[in-house]
């Protein structure tokens, strides 16, 4: 993600804060990311489903999209494929944020148009 963030900082307009969209259905993770990113000075919007992500993308021009793959209504990969066709989102850096760890999942993310792929932190219950 560091390379995506470097690209984000280089491409963002100097006259405004960088804009981020977090698309994540897990409420705790979504809220944690929103809090941390806002505290770091970013302008942040959040969505918990694909339909709400498309609504935000229609009115908000993000510099970076953090995108979960497994959403309740549409695959994050399908959203990723469509982002670069949307007028307000086509220049956004897209980072897949997923619990899926297989190499084939990473390849699918990049083939869908993602700029980077990060595995979500997880905790195991013993």
In sequence order, the 6+-apart residues with CB closer than 8 A to the CB of 46 are: 21, 22, 23, 24, 30, 33, 34
100 phi and psi, to 5 degrees? -75, 130
pLDDT score of 12 more than 50:
no
Cα dihedral 11→90→20→113 (10° resolution): -100
pLDDT score of 125 more than 80:
no
Confidence of residue 8 (pLDDT cuts 50, 70, 90): low
pLDDT score of 117 more than 50:
yes
Q: What is the pLDDT of residue 61?
A: 94
Q: What is the pLDDT of residue 121?
A: 78
Measured CA to CA, the distance from residue 5 to residue 26 in angstroms comes to 23
Q: What is the pLDDT of residue 13?
A: 47
52-89 pLDDT, tens per residue? 999 999 999 999 999 999 999 999 999 999 998 898 88
| Beta-sheet strand order (sheet of 43-47) | 43-47, 19-23, 64-68, 93-98, 116-119
């Amino acid at each position: 993600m560091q390379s995506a963030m470097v690209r984000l900082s280089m491409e963002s307009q100097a006259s405004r804060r960088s804009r981020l969209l977090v698309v994540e259905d897990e409420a705790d993770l979504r809220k944690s990311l929103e809090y941390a990113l806002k505290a770091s000075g970013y302008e942040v919007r959040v969505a918990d489903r694909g339909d709400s992500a498309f609504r935000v993308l229609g009115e908000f021009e993000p510099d970076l999209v953090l995108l979960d793959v497994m959403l309740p209504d549409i695959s994050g990969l399908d959203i990723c494929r469509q982002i670069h066709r949307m007028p307000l989102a086509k220049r956004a850096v897209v980072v897949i944020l997923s619990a899926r760890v297989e190499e084939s999942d990473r390849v699918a993310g990049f083939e869908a148009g993602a700029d980077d792929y990060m595995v979500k932190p997880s905790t195991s219950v013993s």
